[in-house]
Amino acid sequence: MEYHVRHRTTYRYLQDVSHSWHLAHLRPRATPFQAVHDSSISLSLEPASRVAREDYFQNPCEWFSIDQPHTHLEVLAESRVTVQPAPQRVSRDSLSWEEVRLRLESPQDEEERDAVQYLFDSPMTKYHSGIAEYGAVSFPPSRPVLAGAMELMHRIHQDFRYDTTVTDVTTPVDRVFEIRAGVCQDLAHVGIAALRAMGLAARYVSGYLLTQPPPGKPRLLGADASHAWFSVWAPPFGWVDLDPTNDIPVGESHVTAAWGRDYGDVAPVAGIILGGHDHVVDVGVDVIPVDQALPELPNIAPDAPAR
pTM, rounded to two decimals: 0.93
CA distances from 239 to 104, 150, 242, 288 (A): 14, 13, 10, 26
Are 139 and 153 found together in one domain? yes
- CATH label of the domain that carries residue 184: 3.10.620.30
Between the alpha carbon of residue 41 and those of residues 7, 164, 173, the distances in Å are 9, 27, 31
Has residue 55 been placed in a domain?
yes
Q: How many CA atoms lie within 13 A of 143 on its CB side?
A: 15
- Residues 66 and 189 reside in one and the same domain: no
Cα 1–chain centre separation: 20
Q: How many CB atoms lie within 10 A of CB 104?
A: 19
Same domain membership, residue 260 and residue 276: no
| Residue 98 shares a structural domain with residue 7 | no
- The reply to whether 138 and 232 lie within a common domain is yes
Residue 278's pLDDT is: 84
Do 237 and 223 share a structural domain? yes
Using alpha carbons, select from 147, 235, 226, 140 the residue that is nearest to residue 188. 226
Residue 127 lies in a domain: yes
Mean pLDDT value across residues 279-293: 89
Q: How confident is the model at residue 107 (pLDDT cuts 50, 70, 90)?
A: very high
Looking at the fold, whether 136 and 158 belong to one and the same domain comes out as yes
* 207 and 259 share one domain: yes
pLDDT in tens, 255-265: 999 999 999 99
| Domain range enclosing 48 | 2-83+266-289
Tens digit of pLDDT for each residue in 36-65? Answer: 999 999 999 999 999 999 999 999 999 999
Q: Is the pLDDT of residue 22 over 90?
A: yes
Does a structural domain hold residue 216? Answer: yes
222 pLDDT above the threshold of 80: no
Whether residue 95 is predicted with pLDDT greater than 60 in this model: the reply is yes
Residues 169 and 186 in one domain: yes
- The span from the first CA to the last CA of the chain, in angstroms, equals 46
Q: Poorest-confidence range of 103-112, 267-276, 286-295?
A: 286-295
